[in-house]
Every structure is written in C-alpha cells, then in structure tokens.
Amino acid sequence: MVITVASGKGGTGKTTVSTSLTVAISRQKTVSHVDLDVEEPDSNIFLKVPIKREEMIWLPLPVIDYEKCTFCGVCQRVCEYNAIFVFKNTKEVKVFDQLCRGCGACKEMCPYDAIYEVQRYIGIFSYGEKGNIRFYEGRLNVGEYVTTDAIRWVKRRLKKINDSEITVIDAPPGTSCPVIHSMKDADFVLLVTEDTPFGLFDMKLAYGVAKKMNKKMGIIINKALPGFTETREFAKKENVPVLMEIPFDRKFAKAYAEGITLSEYSDEFRERFEEVFSYIEKEVENA
C-alpha cells in the first residue's frame, strides 16, 4: 500500500502529517517513509532515523566523439529540452549540462554513433532504519532543477530495495510534474490543507490532479480555524472525507519547532493518526 501525502502549496503541514502518520503506523507495522520533496527534504528532522547508507544520484550526460561527428544536427533536432546546439560553421557541438534530462534520445538517434554518455552527479539518495521505520530520502544538489529526474531515480531504486508492505510518501508541494510522479503509484492520496482561502485554492488544484489520476482521497485540515468553513463545504460538495483537523495552536507549533511529531507529542493524536490509517487501509482493501 502506497500513501502519498500531498498539498497544493508549501507550508501547509505535509511533513507534519506524513511523519506523524509514519510514527503512528510503526507502532504496529513496518512502514517505509519516502521523502520525495527532493529540493527541500526535511522528514528526518522529525523521524531522526540514523542513515546507514548513501548513494549518488546520477543522470547520463551526452559527450560528443568529434572523430565520428559530422555535425549533421540530428542530435539538436531530437532534443526536447534544447540541451544540444550544433555550430556547423565552427565545427562544434555544445551540450548544456543543466538543461539535459538524460533521456538518451540524442545518443540513440545519432546516425554516426558519435555520442556516448558519462554520469553527471545531481544529488544524494539516503537510506536508514529505526525500529519499524525504513527511511528513504532523495536530496537534489543546490542549483539543480532536474527535480522530476531525481524523483524517478529514487523510485527506481526503491523498487529494488523497499520490501515494506506500507509506504508513506512525502510529496513535493504544488501540482507540477514532481507531484504527479509522487502520486503516480499511490493507492491513496492524503491532501493536507491549511484553513485559509489561499490554502483552499491550492488544495483544489491538488485535488484536481488526484481526481484526474483516479486516486482515492482524504483531507486533513491543518491549522484549523473555527470561523472558516469553506474547506469543509468543498469537501462535502466533492464527497471527499475530512479525516482529521489539527487546531491552529501554539503548542503544536512549538512541538514542530522542536522536531517532535504529533504522534509523539500527544497520545490523542497518535490514536487519531492510527484511525486515519485504518480508514485508508479499508478504502484500499475495498477498491
């Protein structure tokens, strides 16, 4: 079972919810927590899992063999990302490392076999264990923006080494390609929103993405305010259950600032997250 915790914007409490859910599940079962917010992973600030192993994340980068190259321009034409430019007058081919996504099209389509590939280091993949928690994290190097490619790399690696029956994914914020790749294999999407018009607007976008992907969904309202009812009205209208509300309270902010999950801070919240998981489990089983 794969549960993706997503939101339409940053700062809503995705990591608060995903780590608290992981801790609650781990009391009874083995669970893998995967931080796919590769541009700013922070789940382990709360889970505090000792890292046992690190691997470099690589992307293949094309290199031109000038002894074979005829400067025909095929590589430039097939590149979807404009990462290769052929200067026919000066007999030079420029590869823009930061634009290249490592798709391999230029190498495959070169009629003269004049392109080979080297590995370009773009980030770090980390793995650790603590009790019933298996922790995985992708961390993109500063200045890189091949976010989706890093997420793909982490997910391919996970398929080889992750044998847990339950996986909780902390997705990136927003609704762009990285989020779609984080939701792709999910059995259930848990949408986290804050109780504001801005939070609701962006959550609607994330809801639209998950709905388009035919995902089962539930909503958790973080920083819940008694006077703002529009989030609940939207959930009722769309027939999406609100599985939990976390009050807008200084004590929870203090626990967060100290790196403490809600499941560790409060037995009441641990039980509530266990109930959320039980609901998800039944929904997935009945799918």
Q: Is 52 helix (H, G, I), strand (E, B) or coil?
A: strand
Specify whether 41 is located in the same domain as 15: yes
Task: Return the axis-axis angle of helices 14-26 and 267-285, rounded to nearest 10°.
Answer: 80
- 26-76 pLDDT, tens digit each: 999 999 999 999 999 999 999 999 999 999 999 999 999 999 999 999 999
Specify whether 155 is located in the same domain as 208: yes
Specify whether 181 is located in the same domain as 76: no
Specify whether 140 is located in the same domain as 104: no
* Pair type for strands 166-170 and 115-130: unpaired
Specify whether 220 is located in the same domain as 147: yes
The domain spanning residue 71 has which CATH number? 3.30.70.20
- 237-251 pLDDT, tens digit each: 999 999 999 999 999
pLDDT for the residue 72: 95
Specify whether 171 is located in the same domain as 103: no
Residues forming a β-bridge with 56:
124
Specify whether 145 is located in the same domain as 280: yes
Q: Which domain holds residue 213?
A: 2-57+125-285
Upper half-sphere CA count for residue 239 (Cβ side, 13 Å)? 2
Specify whether 13 is located in the same domain as 95: no
Specify whether 169 is located in the same domain as 66: no
- Nearest by Cα to 117 from 135, 134, 141, 101: 101
Q: How many structural domains does the chain have?
A: 2
Domain boundary among 75, 105, 121: 121
How far, in Å, are 11, 79, 149, 258 from residue 130 at the CA level? 27, 44, 28, 19
Specify whether 53 is located in the same domain as 164: yes
